[in-house]
Structure 1
């Protein structure tokens, strides 16, 4: 059964869980960087440009003592849900299970495709995904599109939206980690100066929190998301979202009120670490703070750094970029976009009542490393997210329903078969010749 296959996936080697995949003469498998997996399934029509399905097999830590209802690495079934770290982020057993079933049926694809499973996505994919990219580059591979984790099917999550929406990520926000530090001569707490290193740094951090990055709603891919979803809202939101050329500033002010929607509006600023002091009676000579920023598509990394410097406005505060990168390019999502339309068709074939729209990933995935191999990267998995499910992501009681796991397998199976068409049909035109 599909459920037993999932249990196998979490407890046995992939070779045991997917024997047909690993024994088929059609599938070429190799280990990359010791732990990542790369599969190549050649198509019967080699002139068709291949694509790549991407996932990762590493997970963030989890402990039963955190309050899980089931041991976090047990894949235990409770009330038709499978509990376990990695069930939604993002071991993606559905991809290999779909290929297993297709091979058993004797299926041979017309369009060749790759499957990449990185082993260190949760720590930026520098060894796994980047090594897979290097292998493909050495072989001169060019990809029609890449599909990775990212967005999902949201049901009851977007306030005011009637019905579920499948958001296909066409870009990701950029990211930066900045270290702020203040260095002074140490002193005794009985004779404190007017300002300490902690006080100066705390004031700088406070200015960053009180002066968020500019509101940029409507200037990036998020505008297309709301335009596609407009017809599923009631008045007056339908009117506002259908006329974002006029109402973008108004909607931006509404969205910035909540942390989860504020992420669509601007580059977010989060002070995540603050270190200072070694003894209660010593004025510390050094205070440090780390700030994590997720960069809106309408800004660059350098623009964000300049704004931080301007907002801090104190030469005593040293700013250092620890690491960072610009927002990712925006992939195509129009009627002629092969990858987007194939994913959209597969979603609608399975879930006819779902509204499909392009979206923006506020987090980052392994797919960003593949931008030199393709013009189009999409971030989506048909995982259903209902209210409260987002907190399970990297949190307690991560789970997937048995039904949704089956849907994942069917989705990837259908997607692989849908990709066999040579080209998309011509878009329907509303213009009629007389």
Structure 2
């Protein structure tokens, strides 16, 4: 608790205008999450909301960090630290941009909220979920929500000539499924033909050898490639421009790589396997946990049924540990206010990039906000490199993130959709 108070005090010192301005209403939710409300001068304009989370996963210097993982040390133009790209760059970028605007006397026309959750890494059930309950009790509805989830991909997509800003318009669902087998105990000197471990291992093997169906074209992943078709090198440009013909070929290629395979189907990952009590005792019980990331075209119940059909063994008990369905696909056409505002802000800053809708394969706090808006977007203008040991962000990219939010706040004040960039840029 003391460290939390000290961190909160540090934030107040770093952004004194945000916390002292009469234009900002600030409150703490569930002891640790933060909610800001900046009213607009025109109450007829529906407000929007920016999200980020302040918690991080553990990190230890002994793992091989070049700088202590919680030092924020600057080395050769980079800021090192756990959370620099997940998702403290947004926390600091949003507050820094608002600080700059308030110092200049900025008074928004369109009101907006900022929500900083404290437990996104463990599903946001206390932070984001309680912020949503509070806003619901006040009758709040939102034009759109912008959270983390995707980034600017440079050199990540094979054959693409330019960087692409992937604005995720949905995110995959998730299910954690427990498979278990119970058998009679016994001694290893007189083993049965099959043990609980063997039965369960066979079930797990069937799941790994029989992946769930390909669903390319049933979610926004097809739109992503069609938006980017002209940016690919030949012959990929020809393939992407004629997916009606080459779609099956593209899918066969995509499923060979874990990163692209995640876009075209519900993925199955066996993450835990527990069995055995003693070296010479037959294991009476074995269990395994399977983590599934569910494609937008499927539901948790549909996936559970497919697992039962694949395992096809009554000795294996299949239980849903926890899970939730994929989020609805948010609008991304020319009339979509939130998508077009984010797109305009990006293209004004980075005219060399392409912008396309995409799918967030992970899960974010934004899924809790589905009751407040029909349009949720997941994107931060981070030039994606990696997230793990030596996690870091360049000073230049952090400045770009601050600039992005600085411009986004102002661009959202428009009453009408921005003029389409399609004349100069492709969507």
Counterpart of 1:61 (choices 50, 55, 58) is: 58
TM-score normalized with structure 1 length: 0.94
1:350 matched to 2:349? The reply is: yes
Aligned pair in 2 of structure 1 residues 334, 328: CA closer, same or farther (>3 Å)? same
Contact 1:52 1:114 in 2 (8 A): yes
Contact 1:175 1:295 in 2 (8 A): yes
Partners of 1:259 and 1:250 lie apart in 2 by 17
Equivalent position SS for 2:382: strand
Mapping 1:11-410, distance limit 5 Å:
13-91=10-88, 92=90, 93-385=92-384, 389-390=385-386, 393=387, 395-410=388-403
Question: Shift of the alpha carbon at 1:249?
Answer: 1.3
Residue deviations 1:366-394 (CA, integer Å, cap 9, x gap): 00000010010000000001xxx23xx2x
Contact 2:344 2:418 in 1 (8 A): no
Counterpart of 1:413 (choices 401, 406, 424) is: 406
Equivalent position SS for 2:149: strand
2:3 is matched with which residue? none
Question: Shift of the alpha carbon at 1:185?
Answer: 0.9
Partners of 2:408 and 2:154 lie apart in 1 by 22
Question: Shift of the alpha carbon at 1:427?
Answer: 5.8
Equivalent position SS for 1:143: coil
Contact 2:65 2:390 in 1 (8 A): yes
Partners of 2:10 and 2:53 lie apart in 1 by 15
- The CA RMSD measured in Å over matched residues stands at 1.4
Contact 1:10 1:75 in 2 (8 A): no
User: Which ranges of 4 or more aligned residues in structure 1 deviate by more than 3 Å?
Assistant: 9-12, 425-430
TM-score normalized with structure 2 length: 0.96
Contact 1:336 1:427 in 2 (8 A): no
Mapping 1:416-427, distance limit 5 Å:
416-425=409-418
Partners of 1:412 and 1:35 lie apart in 2 by 23
Partners of 1:119 and 1:223 lie apart in 2 by 34
Residue deviations 1:90-141 (CA, integer Å, cap 9, x gap): 0221000000000001110000000000000000000000000000000000
Structure 2, unpaired ranges of 5+: 1-5
Stretch deviating more after TM superposition (164-173 or 416-425): 416-425
Question: Shift of the alpha carbon at 1:303?
Answer: 1.0
Residue deviations 1:331-371 (CA, integer Å, cap 9, x gap): 00000000000000000000000000001000000000000
Equivalent position SS for 1:274: strand
Residue deviations 1:269-326 (CA, integer Å, cap 9, x gap): 0000000011000001100000000001111111110010000000000000001111
Stretch deviating more after TM superposition (72-81 or 417-426): 417-426
Partners of 2:29 and 2:369 lie apart in 1 by 15
1:5 is matched with which residue? none
Structure 1, unpaired ranges of 5+: 1-8
Partners of 1:101 and 1:271 lie apart in 2 by 47
Contact 1:218 1:244 in 2 (8 A): no
Contact 1:173 1:327 in 2 (8 A): yes
Contact 2:12 2:19 in 1 (8 A): yes
Question: Shift of the alpha carbon at 1:21?
Answer: 0.2
Partners of 1:232 and 1:11 lie apart in 2 by 45
Partners of 1:403 and 1:51 lie apart in 2 by 27
Contact 1:68 1:397 in 2 (8 A): yes
Partners of 1:65 and 1:159 lie apart in 2 by 34
Partners of 2:78 and 2:419 lie apart in 1 by 42
Partners of 1:301 and 1:246 lie apart in 2 by 31
Contact 1:43 1:113 in 2 (8 A): yes
